[in-house]
A and B are shown apart, each in its own frame.
Chain A
Amino acid sequence: MKTHLLLDDNDPQSELSTLNLGPTHPATHGVFQNVLQLDGERIVSGVSTIGYIHRAFEKISEHRPFYQITPLTDRMNYCSSPINNMGWHMTVEKLLGIKTPKRVDYLRIIIMELARIADHLICNSVLGVDTGATAGFFYVMEYRELIYEIYEEVCGSRLTTNIGRIGGFERNFNDIAFAKIKKFQKEYPVVLKEFENLLTRNRIFIDRTKDVARVPAETALSYSWSGPLLRAAGIDYDVRAMEPYCSYEDLDFEIPVGTSGDVYDRFLVRNAEMWQSLRMIDQCMAKIEKEPKDVFHADVPEFYLPPKQEVYNNMEALIYHFKIVMGEIETPVGEVYHAVEGGNGELGFYLVNDGGRSPYRLHFRRPCFINYQMYAPMSRGMLLSDAIINMSSMNVIAGELDA
């Protein structure tokens, strides 16, 4: 059997020490192993091992109808699962040629931007924890809870949401959901401001994060980085602006960019993105006022499950229900690549369909997987404590890493 360790640590005279960081280390916030060779506190070299929670999603997807793949996408980046769900729905809609109504698009943007806030919120507040500031983490957690309550009103679940359906949502947003979104719009800016006050100009925080793990833009591009990490390095690539999907082109927003790509810039970019997300939520809430209130899905009976009472009383609905559940609807043969801006960057779905009930091949372009490969090379020469906050600011989610 081949060893998974490439470090040459057999030299008895070696002054270097080997450290297993992970697979279950509290500072890594997930199941990753890094075998590091240390000279004192400095990292000389490292090898990352991943795959501890690989669940063969791509293989499973080849055996499931489209609507049953949504729960698999939940379990990739579980900090912002609605983005994954809707990215998958939009991929299938692109394949099937379904045009969703504007109100559905705006409702989706509201949920996706809330998910982005939840994702960035966790990442930035955990970065605070890793540098020793625990208070901010507990303070903002109340608002992640509020976001989860909004999901709960919309779809009934909190973490792995399975939110929405192909063509729209499974039910209309109720008044409680809107009331909670409005509460969030009103209260969260104050909290975010205070969270920024706590860390942005904090001497200790700046000392710990500034110039740590600087990444030049060329390197970031060569490593195919995307999302806040790439933008912190100074490249203004955002899928929402570059290839607008889901009516993002109707909205007015900016793409925050950093300059040096260090941990501090990533923190600033994520904070600035939360402000932009709030702006987008405000705009969408204003826009849905002008749309018909009872529209929450596209009119595609052959792909969108009819309401249950219809199934019992209406012949057509029964037929559609049967055909959808048994996977007997014809789908076009073709291949689609659809990308959405996930919490960590470009989340792509490459779907090859042969007309059957499940995809012929489905590949997820998982931003964590692609971002994280630079972790070991970039850790060389870094202090161990800096490597910990570097990992924290890369927001590596084990579920997305391992699929």
Chain B
Amino acid sequence: MGKITNEELLNSIKAKFESDVTEVTEPYGLLTFETSREKITDLLTFLKTDPALQFIYLTDLTGIHYPEQEKQIGVIYHLHSLINGVRVRIKVFMDENDLHIPTATTIWDGANWMERETYDFFGVIFDGHPDLRRILNVDDMTVFPMRKEYPLEDPNRVDKRDYFFGR
């Protein structure tokens, strides 16, 4: 569909970041790969500034939690090259005890609130972020609610206990 194919895109990324691009897949036509947090800033800058690729648009930045994995928490970037009409998805996974990743606000201003949201829900700390605070949840919340260990409802809630319903 786009002016460059996923294969060409992958080749030009691999030419610069050969060993840092892993787990390449193409679910539903969208090129997806993993990289390390050491390389993420270089990679995003390269994708944005390379004259042939021009991924100038940060569509989305969010997190994901896989409790059974060794590196539990992931940050997922969706970039869009408006000129070429092609998207790419980049994932970075981190250990739960060391959730530091360089910020993308140095590359896109729009990453600011997306990173705050990811911090708010997953506890990922974006190093260098100008204002990393909670955004949707209350300031004095102590947990990161989108992690899988937190149930949907407050476990301390008593008004839904069975004995209220004669069960």
Chain B binds chain A? yes
Residue ranges of A at the interface with B (Cβ–Cβ < 8 Å): 1-4, 6, 50-51, 54, 56, 58-60, 62-63, 94-95, 219, 221-225, 235, 237, 242-243, 334-337, 339, 346, 348, 350, 352, 361, 363, 365, 369-370, 373-374, 402-403
Near A by CB (< 8 A), chain B positions 88-102 give: 89
Q: What is the size category of the interface that chain B forms with chain A? A: 35 or more
A242 touches B60 (CB 8 A): no
CA distance A192 to B151 in the complex (A): 49
Q: In whole Å, how far is B87's beta carbon from the nearest beta carbon of chain A? A: 7
The 4 closest A-B pairs by CB, nearest first: A224-B110, A51-B136, A373-B113, A54-B136
A350 touches B76 (CB 8 A): yes
Which A residues are in CB contact (< 8 Å) with B112?
373
Q: How far is the CA of A39 from the CA of B87 in the complex (A)?
A: 44
Q: What 0/1 readout, one digit per residue, does chain B (108-146) give for beta carbons within 8 Å of chain A?
A: 111111100100010000000001011111111000011
Contact yes or no, B60 A336, CB < 8 A: no
Return the CB mask of B30-65 against A: 1 if under 8 Å, else 0: 101000000000000000000000001111101011
Give A326 to B26 CA distance when docked, in angstroms.
Answer: 31
B28 lies within 8 A of A222 (CB):
no
Most chain B beta carbons < 10 A, residue from A60, A221, A336, A346: A221
B4 within 8 A of A: no
Contact B62 A363 (CB under 8 A): yes
Does the CB pair A58–B146 fall under 8 Å? yes
- B92 to nearest A CB, angstroms? 15
Give every chain A residue within 8 A of B30 (Cβ-Cβ): 337
Q: How far is the CB of B46 from chain A (nearest CB, A)?
A: 17
A221: chain B residues at CB < 8 Å are: 56-57
**What's the Cα separation between A189 and B64 when bound, in Å?**
46
Provide the residues of chain A in CB contact with B146, threshold 8 Å: 58-59
Does B1 count as interface, using CB distance less than 8 angstroms?
yes
Nearest CB of chain A from residue B34's CB, rounded to whole Å: 13
Chain B residues close to A by CB (< 8 Å): 1, 27-28, 30, 32, 56-60, 62, 64-65, 76, 78, 82, 85, 87, 89, 108-114, 117, 121, 131, 133-140, 145-146, 152
A402-B56 in contact (CB<8A): no
Asked whether A94 lies within 8 Å of B135 as measured between CB atoms, the reply is: no
Nearest chain A CB to B69 CB, angstrom units: 12
| A378 shortest CB reach to chain B, Å | 11
Complex interface: chain A residues within 8 A of B133 (CB): 2, 4
Q: Which residue of A lies closest to B82 (CB)?
A: A237
Assess whether B82 is in contact with A51, with CB atoms less than 8 Å apart.
Answer: no
Known contacts: A59-B146, A224-B57, A365-B59. The answer to whether A337 contacts B136 by CB under 8 A is no
- Verify B78–A370 contact, CB threshold 8 A: no
The residue in A3, A219, A373 that gathers the most chain B C-beta atoms within 10 A of its C-beta is A373
Instruction: With A222-B110, A350-B60 given, name 15 new contacts (CB 8 A).
Output: A2-B133, A3-B139, A6-B131, A51-B135, A59-B152, A222-B109, A223-B110, A335-B89, A337-B87, A337-B89, A361-B64, A369-B117, A370-B110, A370-B114, A373-B112
Taking CB atoms, residues of chain B closer than 8 Å to A51 are 134-138
Among residues of A, the one whose C-beta sits closest to the C-beta of B91 is: A335
On chain A, the residues within 8 Å of B76 by CB distance are: 350
Partner of B137, one of A54, A243, A334, A373: A54
- Smallest CB separation, B17 vs chain A (Å): 22
A-B contact pairs, 24 of them (CB 8 A): A1-B139, A50-B135, A54-B137, A58-B146, A59-B146, A222-B109, A224-B57, A224-B111, A242-B85, A243-B85, A335-B27, A335-B28, A335-B32, A336-B27, A337-B60, A348-B59, A348-B60, A350-B60, A352-B64, A363-B60, A365-B78, A370-B110, A373-B110, A373-B112
